[in-house]
Amino acid sequence: MLELTRSAVPGVTWPAMPDDHAARLLALQLQLEQSQWQAIERLQMQQLRQFAEVFRHAVLTVPYYRERFAPWAAGVAGWPQYRELPITERHDIQDAGEAMHSAAPPSSHGPMVTTGSSGSMGRPLLTRGTGWTQLLWNSFLLRDHLWHRRDLHGKLAAIRSKTSEGRLDHWGPATMPFATGPSVVRGLSADLDEQLRWLVEEDPDYVISFATNIHMLARRSREMGLRLPRLRHVRTYGEMLRPDARADVRESWGVEIIDSYSSEELGYIALQCPQCEHYHVQAENLIVEVLDESGEPCRPGDTGRVVVSTLHNFAMPLLRYANGDYAEVGEQCACGRGLPVLRRIVGRQRNMVVRPDGVRHWPSFPAESWRDIAPIVQIQLVQDAIDHIEARLVIKRALAGNEHVRLIAALQDCLGYPFRITLQQVNDIPRGTGNKYEDFVSLLVE
Indicate the number of domains in the chain. 1
84-98, 106-120, 308-322: least confident range: 106-120
The mean pLDDT value for 26-40 works out to: 97
Residue 277: inside a domain, yes or no?
Answer: no
Q: What is the pLDDT of residue 433?
A: 63
pLDDT in tens, 166-175: 899 999 999 9
Residue 219: inside a domain, yes or no?
Answer: no
Residue 380: inside a domain, yes or no?
Answer: yes
pLDDT in tens, 379-429: 888 888 999 999 998 888 898 889 899 999 999 988 889 999 999 999 888
Residue 426: inside a domain, yes or no?
Answer: yes
Q: What is the pLDDT of residue 435?
A: 62
Residue 343: inside a domain, yes or no?
Answer: no
Residue with the larger pLDDT of the pair 102 and 348: 102
CATH number at residue 407: 3.30.300.30
Residue 428: inside a domain, yes or no?
Answer: yes
71-80, 319-328, 427-436: least confident range: 427-436
Residue 365: inside a domain, yes or no?
Answer: yes
pLDDT in tens, 57-99: 999 999 999 999 999 999 998 999 999 999 999 999 989 999 9
446, pLDDT greater than 70: no
Range of the domain at 386: 353-442
121, pLDDT greater than 50: no
Average pLDDT, the chain: 90
12-16, 46-50, 73-77, 134-138: least confident range: 12-16
- HEC letters along the chain: CHHHECCCCCCCCCCCCCCHHHHHHHHHHHHHHHHCCCCHHHHHHHHHHHHHHHHHHHHHHCHHHHHHCHHHCCCCCCHHHHCCCCCEEHHHHHHHHHHHCCCCCCHHHCCEEEEEECCCCCCCEEEEEEHHHHHHHHHHHHHHHHHCCCCCCCCEEEEECCCCCEEECCCCHHHCCECCCCEEEEECCCCHHHHHHHHHHHCCCEEEEEHHHHHHHHHHHHHHCCCCCCCCEEEEECCCCCCCHHHHHHHHHCCEEEEEEEECCCEEEEEECCCCCCEEECCCCEEEEEECCCCCECCCCCEEEEEEEECCCCCCCCCCEEEEEEEEECCCCCCCCCCCEEEEEEEEHHHCEECCCCCEECCCCCHHHCCCCCCEEEEEEEEEECCEEEEEEEECCCCCCCHHHHHHHHHHHHHCCCCEEEEEECCCCCCCHHHCCCCEEECCCC
Residue 289: inside a domain, yes or no?
Answer: no
Q: What is the pLDDT of residue 4?
A: 61
